[in-house]
Amino acid sequence: MVNLTIDGKQVTVSKAATIYEAALEAGIHIPVLCYAKKLLPYGACRVCLVEVEQMKGRLIPSCTTPVTQGMVVTTTSAEINKVRKTVLEFLLVNHVVECPVCDKGGECDLQDLTFEHEVYPNRFTGEKFALPTDEVNPLIERNMNRCVLCGKCARVCDEIVAFGSYSFINRGFESKIATAFDRGLNCEFCGQCVSMCPVGAILPRPFKFKARPWQLKEVDSVCGYCGNGCTVTLGVLKDKVETIRFNDKTGVNDGNLCIRGRFGYSYVNSEDRLTKPLVRKDGKLVQTDWKEALDTVVSGFAKARAEKGVGIVTGARLTNEELFLLKNLAKAMGTGNLDHSGGESYKGVTEGLFETLGVTASTATFPQVEECDTILSIRSDFYETHPVFGMVVNQAVKRHDAHLIVIADKRGKFGKLPHAETLLAKPGLEVNILNAMAQSLLADGLAITDGVEGVVELQAALADYTPELVAAQTGVPAAAIRAAAQQLAKAKKSAILLAYGLPYTAHSRELGIAAANLAILTGIPGREGSGLYLCGEKANSQGAIDLQIVPGKEALDSQSMFQAAAAGTLSALYIVGEDPLTSYPDRKKIETALDKVPFLVVQDIFLSPTAQQADVVLPAASFAEKDGTFTNAERRLQRVRQGIPLPGEAKTDYAIFELLAGRFGKQVSFTGPEAVFSQIAASTPGYGGIEYGAIGPQGVVWGGDLLAVKRRKVVAVAGGKPVETPYQLITGSSLYHNGTVSTRATGPLAVIPSPFVELGREDASTLQVKEGDLLTLRANGVEIKLAAKIDTRMPKGVLFAPYHFSSAGLNRIFTGQAAVPVEVSK
């Protein structure tokens, strides 16, 4: 701690603080323009200059200067104000003052500072810039005539996003921010630069001329897309979500978002939303009222219950409270056939973790990863599945020189980070590599084995997984496998990241165990700052696991329900917030099941391909229309808040479940999410003692920052076998989408508008395909056609197609394999 005096006030702050931060803590306002809490010190604008008695003769930038013991700081004086005012006058000389038509008006730092310092009239005049604006893409508009050269856009894109779109070009007065070759912006479109720009130089296009900032109602909530669980602030005008606001003060993600969180909100306002219940009459879905719809559902389920039973499959975008009510409803309906997210996607990994560690969740929290010295990412480049967690990894690597190792079947963004190493394996062989890493640690005596069960058995079982043998299978050099293992073993703080989700179902249990083995052998569980991260695909994937939305004893899981339905041994299916026809593996099986099942109820916000097959469709609520809690992939419970009313007659899943439970004789009369939550807290392991009202802006992490594991048991698991055909297809998430709902959001669609299959240059030239050509992929006698996307990410013989698009029909050939052997032709 350091003591100093600011404007006569005694202040004690940490010695890492800058003068600006110290003043802020003491409630003293120093104006800033280029400073940003989450970026490295910069010191360019010179608005924040102050006087320091010990450094006379010049003015000191408060945003970059660390405090020292006994410092005496003056933050305002005639001299300082004059210099600040001059800086503003300079900035205003060339800045095109367009406040009346600039969307930033009302929350523009330059506007506010000009007002605060009464910069009028300007003593200086000069030429205004007349640079062309960049409006090439539909999401972000750049008008460099308004730029004040604070560098924040370039800094955030480099330091945090690690994309590096922008740089300054030219010198002196001609300096400006530009993209490579000064072309139109072409990037990840995460919008971080939009949120950081203090003026109206970078603006979100979908929000153009929509509202003045003060007209917007701000509602803090949680992004409805992925398990990263980013805090978002809905900007609401006239009952519509018009934008997602920048907010680095609340929440856990420092205001960082990915394209989905920032620009993916538009589906909420879509004209295609379901606003009335539908029932099938004479083979056609027609609108009806809730009474008829519920009557039909209740009698249909009652009948089914009396016959071969009902099955319930839900998605993981429902709140904890809704999931809890659904579980109650299942009880009321007397069925144990309950599952979520296609079952397979979470089942294997959680079982694996439970066997080894006795837990079914990440053992530490995201921010801790920034301080890790070694990070191992398995299967996915986290940008595709959990982009904002990926940004934490960026910062670990870029700011703290963390060592990053990626085990993957295609190259990704992580691999481009400084000193990052991608162990590029043939598809489906991640377990083999993890096994080899464990083998080498045990063989070299580097493993932590004290208090670990099963070591001898594991060591014996791993005889077939020496780095050399695995190198021959996977194509990853043995030395690289050993080096990676050693790197992990010697780290003081380390993290292992594993994503799961609908497109990643193969070897799921093996992968969970192999990752946990490695975590145990390198001492990760329970060690301060280290963690094994299990990252679910959807906003409340972890909540669904915590609340045990799983089949009861002897009951059917998701796969078995569809199997049973297809075989005619299940009488009704209730599908909530999922589109299995599009997103579950093996479309043929799902089609047959939906076709054969006598009674199908689908509850959704859109008339999805699955809903189109239903007997009754119940219109539900999006994340922006409900209250409750989500649990993200680091076990953080956060409040979801209603920002806008429900469209038409749509109801929340919460309300629907309550109504149905009543009809099944289990009248539940909760007063709202808070009351449900207290039941959840009382009955869910780890949630005990958490109060709904106490879940603040930072959320509450159940189990604490470091989750205590129940055991440390290493278990032998078999690796995969390589697919030997010349071409194999893998699937997964693409960065811009998540699940299927993002294919209805204009933001992600603006960048990835349609399905594609990605292949490497070498394969493209062998196959003589060009970008955009239709490629025919054939497997198990089924054929699909996809437009080719050619780049340098894919290894030879490996093709990638994202799974989000219904029209692609990818799940006609993808039935859950790690890699699909395919024949490819033009």
Partner 1 sequence: MTDTPQVLFKNRRPGETAFLAEYQRSGGYEGLRKAVKMTPAEVRETVKESGLRGRGGAGFPTGLKWTFFPADQLGEKYLVCNGDEMEPGTYKDRELLLADPHQLIEGMLVAAYALQTPVAYVFIRYAYERCAQNLERAIAEARQAGFLGRDILGSGFACEIFVHRSAGRYICGEETALLNALEGLRANPRSKPPFPAVRGLFGKPTTVNNVETLANVQHIIAHGADWFRGLARTESGAGTKLYGLSGHLNQTPCLEAPIGITLRELIQEHGGGVWQGRKMKACLPGGASTPFMTAGQLDVPMDFDTIEKAGSRFGTGGVTVFDETTCMVEATLNLNNFFARESCGWCTPCRDGLPFVSWLLRQIETGKATMDDLQTLRDQLRNITGTSFCALAQGAVGPIESLLRLFGDEVEDHIKRGRCPLKS
192 contact, one of ligand FES, partner 1, ligand SF4, none, CB 5-8 Å limit per kind: ligand SF4
Q: Minimal distance in Å, beta carbon 65 to ligand FES? A: 9
Is position 66 an interface residue for ligand FES (rule: CB under 6 A)?
no
Cβ(816)–Cβ(506) below 8 Å: yes
Using the Cα atoms of residue 146, residue 147, residue 148 and residue 150 in order, give the sign of their dihedral.
positive
Q: Is the distance from CB of 574 to CB of 603 less than 8 angstroms?
A: yes
Distance (Å, whole) CA 617 – CA 577: 11
| 189, interface contact from ligand FES, partner 1, ligand SF4, none, CB < 5-8 Å by kind | ligand SF4
Residue 35 interacting entry, from partner 1, ligand SF4, ligand FES, none, C-beta within 5 to 8 Å by type: ligand FES
Indicate the residue among 54 and 754 with the shorter CB distance to partner 1. 54
The minimum distance between CB 254 and ligand FES, in angstroms, equals 18
HSE, CB side, 13 Å, CA atoms: give it for residue 430: 30
Task: State the angle between helix axes of 430-443 and 467-474 in degrees (0 to 180), rounded to the nearest 10.
Answer: 160
- Selection from ligand FES, ligand SF4, partner 1, none that 196 binds (CB < 5 to 8 A by kind) is ligand SF4
DSSP state of 369: G
DSSP secondary structure code for residue 793 in this structure? S
Classify residue 318 as exposed, middle or buried by CB count within 10 Å of its CB (0-12, 13-18, 19+).
buried
Cα separation, 45 vs 148, in Å, equals 8
3-state secondary structure of 720: coil
CB 48 to ligand SF4: min, Å: 15
- Residue from 19, 35, 109, 389 that binds ligand FES (CB under 6 A)? 35
Can you tell me whether residue 600 is helix, strand or coil?
strand
Tell me how far apart the alpha carbons of residues 640 and 662 are, in angstroms, rounded to a whole number.
Answer: 25
CB 255 to ligand SF4: min, Å: 11
Across-strand partners of 224? Answer: none
Tell me: does residue 198 bind ligand FES (CB under 6 A). Answer: no
Over the Cα atoms of the chain, what is R_g? Answer: 28
The binder of 156, among ligand SF4, partner 1, ligand FES, none, by C-beta within 5 to 8 A per type, is: ligand SF4
Q: In this complex, which beta carbon is closest to ligand FES, that of residue 34 or of residue 378?
A: 34
**Do residues 631 and 546 make contact, with C-beta atoms less than 8 angstroms apart?**
yes
Whose Cβ is closer to ligand FES: residue 11's or residue 88's?
A: 88
406 binds ligand FES (CB under 6 A): no
* Binding-site partner at residue 257 among ligand FES, partner 1, ligand SF4, none, CB < 5 to 8 Å by type: ligand SF4
Instruction: Decide: 713 and 453 in contact? Cβ < 8 Å.
Output: yes
Q: Is 61 in the site for ligand FES (CB under 6 A)?
A: yes
**Which does residue 48 touch among partner 1, ligand FES, ligand SF4, none (CB within 5 to 8 A, set by kind)?**
ligand FES
Binding site for partner 1 (CB under 8 A): 41-47, 49, 57-59, 61, 64, 66, 82-83, 86-87, 90-91, 93-94, 123-124, 126, 149, 167-168, 170-175, 401
CB of 153: closest distance to ligand FES in angstroms? 15
3-state helix, strand, coil in the chain (%, to 5): 35, 20, 45
Integer CA distances (angstroms), 40 to 35, 64, 96, 156, 204, in order: 9, 9, 28, 9, 24
**Out of ligand FES, ligand SF4, partner 1, none, which partner does residue 386 contact, by CB within 5 to 8 A per kind?**
ligand SF4
Q: Please give the residue ranges that form the binding site for ligand SF4 (CB under 6 A).
A: 140, 147-153, 156-157, 161, 163, 165, 177, 185, 187-193, 196-199, 201-202, 223, 225-226, 228-230, 257-258, 260-261, 386-388, 738
Contact 326, 312 (CB under 8 A): yes
Q: Does 703 bind ligand FES (CB under 6 A)?
A: no
> What is the torsion angle, in degrees rounded to the nearest 10, for the CA atoms of residue 459, residue 461, residue 463 and residue 469?
-120
Q: What are the angstrom distances between the C-alpha of 133 and each of 136, 146, 234?
A: 9, 10, 27
Minimum distance from residue 226 beta carbon to ligand SF4 (Å): 3
Chain contacts with ligand FES (rule: CB under 6 A): 32-35, 43-48, 61, 63
